Amino acid sequence: MLNQLKIAYTKKALEIFGSIKGRDIVDVNDTDFTDIASVVMTDADEDRFVFDKEMLFSFNIPVFFIKTKAGLVDDSVIGKVYRVIDLNDTDHAFY
């Protein structure tokens, strides 16, 4: 039987967005990305250390970027994420 892949969160993303029901979670700093389905991070994270994780891009793992602040998301970030979620514009409840 195959195990379901986990969702990796930054601490700030988990605090702001919460976990997805039915999915195991892991801190983005505590994984080697071999069992990760996606990564969730925010513009409130102090640095963009997630983008330095080579295995993340080697495994082609989608990164969801939660926008909490006003203004545009930097183009350098847009090129590295799968999707931007604007909390000011989105109902982010998952069922």
- Which residue, 50, 43, 51, 40, is CA-closest to 72? 43
User: Can you give the pLDDT at residue 56?
Assistant: 87
What is the pLDDT, as a whole number, of residue 90?
A: 54
Query: Is there a domain that residue 94 lies in?
Result: no
Whether the predicted pLDDT of 89 surpasses 80: no
pLDDT at 63: 94
pTM: 0.84
* Structural domain includes residue 93: no
| CATH at 47 | 3.40.50.220
End-to-end CA distance of the chain: 25
In a domain, 16, yes or no: yes
Rounded CA separation 50/41 (Å): 8
Q: What is the pLDDT of residues 43-83, one digit of tens each?
A: 888 666 788 888 888 999 999 999 988 888 888 888 889 99
- State the total domains in the chain: 1
92 inside domain: no
Confirm whether 38 is domain-assigned: yes
pLDDT at 93 over 60: no
